[in-house]
Amino acid sequence: MKKNFKYLLFFLGMVFTLYLLIPFRNERCFWQKKFDSKGINGRVVKKKIDKSDHSTPILELENLETGKVDTISFLGERSTVFKIIKESDTLYKAIGSNRLYFIRGNEKKVIGTVNFGCDGRE
C-alpha cells in the first residue's frame, strides 16, 4: 500500500511540475500581441514561405533607421496582407497597432489589418 502511495505522489508531483512548465495560452492571441508590440519602419528584403517550418510566411525587413534585418512571422495570420506585400516595398506599423502601411514618397497607404484570429479571450 505504501508503495502505491509513493507512486501516486510521484505521479501527482510530475503532473503539477508539467502544469507549471507548459504555458497554457491561446496561441493566436500570443501571436497577435507579439505582432502588435513590434514597430515596423523598413524595407522588405525577402518574402518567403518557410517550408521547413510548417510553411510559415516570413518577411525579412531591413530597418530604415538602424540597417538591421528583422524577421517577422505571419504564421496563423488570416488576412491577405502577406499576399499583397512584395519584396522592396517599404512598410510602416506603429507599436501597439495591427494596421500595416506602405510608405510611398511622403505618403502612407493602408495595406490592411493583420489578424491572427484572436477573439480576445486568453
**Domain ranges across the chain:** 26-113
Long-range contacts of 74-78 (CB under 8 A, 24+ apart): 74/114, 75/31, 76/27, 76/28, 76/31, 76/116, 76/117, 77/31, 77/114, 77/115, 77/116, 78/115, 78/116, 78/117
Residue-wise pLDDT for 37-82, tens only, equals 999 999 999 999 998 877 899 999 999 999 999 999 998 888 889 9
Percent of the chain with pLDDT over 90: 52
Residue-wise pLDDT for 23-33, tens only, equals 545 788 888 99
